[in-house]
């Protein structure tokens, strides 16, 4: 047995990379401090990095601490931002393997807005993939704005400048629950070398979001969105082109790509959060159904949907089949 963390801590993921176990602790259960942990199975050495004061700035996205070509990456939750003081709220961080030393970071210009509205990045995890001359890192959270970063140089010289910032794809209401992107994203490359990115959106599409090339009716409860990553020749930078949006799905989970097929799981969950005991989250309304009928609805709406094949074409410039 190994003392990896305290009892009742909320460790949101467990990743094994080159015989080292990585896991983030977050959300402050029993007052346990937010941190990243690396445990070397060969040497038995445990290394910890505290991402913020107290219980702030944890990395509770589904993917946890993710592997890149050079570093390990984390997206943190609400908390103060002051790198000189070791405060890394709402940031994308690059750390060295094993010893968890910070080597780079990105923090959006609107970090104070994200903190004030509880639209933190930690609702999702970043994803890293090669594209053109870059190793790209895609970042998104509750705000539903996707940033494309150079994984080898996060945010440029000022640590605040992405290669690309998308429009707001959802969560116009700026709710802290049941809206925006949760979990993680998926990426894949088709046989023609085109790179795609997919995410699950809770709630309706943003009113100012550009149109998708292929859509299947309204999707007020949620949907899966797929984008093609392209090079803007004029800017010499990567951009996202909205390509495909699924039919309406209630609380879709993280897309999964296997053998050229994109799979979607519709969870049917209610992820309403509370700010304090007995108080419902901002903008929430009381449930209209009994607990028994709510449970039945969740169970009956849970199903696996095959929504796209990334190896066939359905139209000019597209490699996605409609469901």
pLDDT of residue 155: 95
Distances (CA, A) of 274 to 38, 174, 277: 31, 15, 7
Here the tokens at position 248 are 């309406």
Note the pLDDT tens digit of each residue in 157-183: 999 999 999 999 999 999 998 999 999
**pLDDT average, residue stretch 300-310:** 38
**pLDDT average, residue stretch 48-71:** 93
**In the predicted model, is pLDDT for residue 37 greater than 90?**
yes
Return the CA Rg of the chain.
20
pLDDT of residue 1: 67
The model's confidence at residue 4, banded by pLDDT at 50, 70 and 90, is confident
The model's confidence at residue 271, banded by pLDDT at 50, 70 and 90, is low
pLDDT of residue 28: 86
Query: Is residue 146 within 8 Å of residue 138, measured between CB atoms?
Result: yes
* HEC sequence for 107-170: CCCCHHHHHHHCCCHHHECCEEEEECCEEEEEECCCCCEEEEEECCCCCCCCCCCCCEEEEECE
**In the predicted model, is pLDDT for residue 312 greater than 90?**
no
Note the pLDDT tens digit of each residue in 88-125: 999 999 999 999 999 999 999 999 999 999 999 999 99
Dmax (CA) for the chain in angstroms is 57
Percent of the chain beyond pLDDT 90? 73
Note the pLDDT tens digit of each residue in 118-157: 999 999 999 999 999 999 999 999 999 999 999 999 999 9
Q: Phi first, then psi: what are they for 231, rounded to 5°?
A: -95, 125
The model's confidence at residue 272, banded by pLDDT at 50, 70 and 90, is low
Query: Is residue 131 within 8 Å of residue 158, measured between CB atoms?
Result: no
**In the predicted model, is pLDDT for residue 315 greater than 80?**
no
Q: Phi first, then psi: what are they for 314, rounded to 5°?
A: -120, -5
**pLDDT average, residue stretch 218-240:** 96
Give the separation between CA 57 and CA 35, rounded to whole angstroms. Answer: 8
**In the predicted model, is pLDDT for residue 279 greater than 50?**
no
**pLDDT average, residue stretch 173-201:** 95
The long-range contacts involving 291-297, CB below 8 angstroms and separated by at least 24 positions, are 294/270, 297/268
Q: Which residue has the tokens 């959270």?
A: 141
The model's confidence at residue 273, banded by pLDDT at 50, 70 and 90, is low
Which domains, from first to last, does the chain contain?
Answer: 1-174 (2.40.128.630), 185-271+296-323 (no CATH)
pLDDT of residue 211: 97
Q: Which residues contact 257 (CB under 8 A, 6 or more apart)?
A: 186, 187, 188, 198, 263, 310
- 105 or 312, greater pLDDT: 105
pLDDT of residue 277: 38
pLDDT of residue 6: 85
pLDDT of residue 12: 85
Q: pTM for the complete prediction? A: 0.85
Question: Of 78, 195, 193, whose CA–CA distance to 138 is shortest?
Answer: 195
């Amino acid at each position: 047995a190994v003392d990896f963390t305290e009892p009742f801590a909320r460790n949101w993921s467990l990743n094994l990379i080159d015989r080292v176990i990585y896991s983030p602790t977050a959300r402050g259960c029993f007052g346990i401090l937010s941190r990243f942990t690396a445990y070397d199975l060969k040497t038995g050495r445990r290394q910890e990095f505290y991402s913020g004061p107290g219980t702030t700035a944890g990395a509770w996205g589904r993917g946890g601490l993710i592997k890149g070509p050079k570093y390990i990456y984390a997206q943190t939750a609400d908390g103060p931002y002051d790198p000189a003081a070791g405060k890394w709220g709402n940031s994308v961080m690059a750390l060295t393997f094993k010893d968890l030393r910070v080597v780079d970071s990105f923090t959006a210009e609107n970090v104070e807005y994200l903190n004030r509205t509880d639209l933190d990045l930690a609702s999702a995890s970043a994803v890293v993939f090669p594209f053109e001359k870059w190793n790209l890192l895609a970042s998104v959270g509750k705000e539903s704005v996707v940033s494309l970063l150079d994984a080898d140089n996060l945010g440029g010289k000022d640590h605040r400048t992405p290669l690309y910032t998308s429009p707001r794809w959802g969560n116009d209401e700026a709710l802290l629950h049941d809206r925006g992107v949760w979990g993680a994203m998926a990426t894949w490359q088709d046989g023609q070398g085109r790179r795609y990115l997919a995410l699950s959106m809770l709630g309706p599409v943003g009113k100012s979001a550009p149109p998708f090339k292929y859509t299947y009716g309204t999707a007020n409860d949620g949907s899966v969105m797929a984008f093609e990553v392209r090079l803007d020749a004029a800017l010499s930078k990567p951009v996202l082109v909205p390509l495909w949006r699924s039919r309406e799905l209630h609380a879709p989970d993280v897309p999964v790509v296997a053998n050229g097929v994109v799979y979607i799981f519709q969870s049917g969950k209610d992820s309403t959060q509370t700010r304090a005991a007995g108080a419902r989250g901002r903008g929430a309304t009381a449930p209209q159904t009994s607990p028994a009928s709510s449970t039945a609805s969740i169970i009956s709406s849970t199903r696996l949907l095959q929504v796209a094949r990334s190896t066939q074409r359905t139209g000019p410039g597209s490699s996605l089949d409609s469901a």
